[in-house]
Amino acid sequence: MWGSGQEPLSVPPLGGGATPLIATSSQLVNIKYHRPETWQWVLAAQLLDGPDTGGVGEHVTLTVHFDLTIGVGRSILQIPDFEVFSFNWNDGARAPVNRLIWSTASVGPSRTFTSPTPTAATDTKVDQIVAETIIANARCFLQELGGPTGNVSVQLSAMFSPRNHIRPDWFKADGHLNRERFAGNEIGGR
């Protein structure tokens, strides 16, 4: 499994309106697997600290956007907003401190573009991708409306794992396990 947890990201209050948080300073995942594979993942965001809203009309929203770049060979595909999490609290509510949002699936876009957008959802659940290169980044945005607020702190995590992890060099030409070459580690493979 490949992945990381980002050090807690904190932002001071900068007033009302849409105030972007500083983008994460590093990638959450950078996998170069050297052969195509089918991948599964876990993406997570945990709110560690945030201001309580004082009364009616005060609103705080923290939105986390996970962006994915996948590739096979020299080809790449950039998927902004591969997954989006949102923490919302308002009208005198306490900040949902220690609340964890996570997912092992994403929602793919509709296969048909229609303008205006129809009211019925035609999205598709996506729980695996095929790639040999995977880069996962996160962008966070903070919106505070109403009275005075305080710092917001969030921890981000992303982990990817191959669906199957069978190495060709584990087996002999006849398909049986090659015990001489497989001594408990991956010999000659990545």
What is the number of structural domains in the chain?
Answer: 1
Buried b (16+ CB within 10 A) or exposed e, 48-67: bebbebeeeebbbbbbbbbb
Residue 181 lies in a domain: no
Structural domain includes residue 6: yes
Q: Is residue 180 part of a domain?
A: no
**Is 92 part of any domain?**
yes
Say how many Å lie between the first and final Cα of the chain, rounded. Answer: 13
Domain that residue 157 falls in: 2-170
User: What is the pLDDT at residue 190?
Assistant: 45
CA atoms of 151 and 10, how far apart (whole Å):
7
pTM: 0.79
184 belongs to a structural domain: no
DSSP letter for 109, please: P
CA distance 49 to 52: 10
pLDDT tens digits, one per residue of 42-85 = 999 999 998 888 888 888 888 899 999 999 999 999 999 999 99
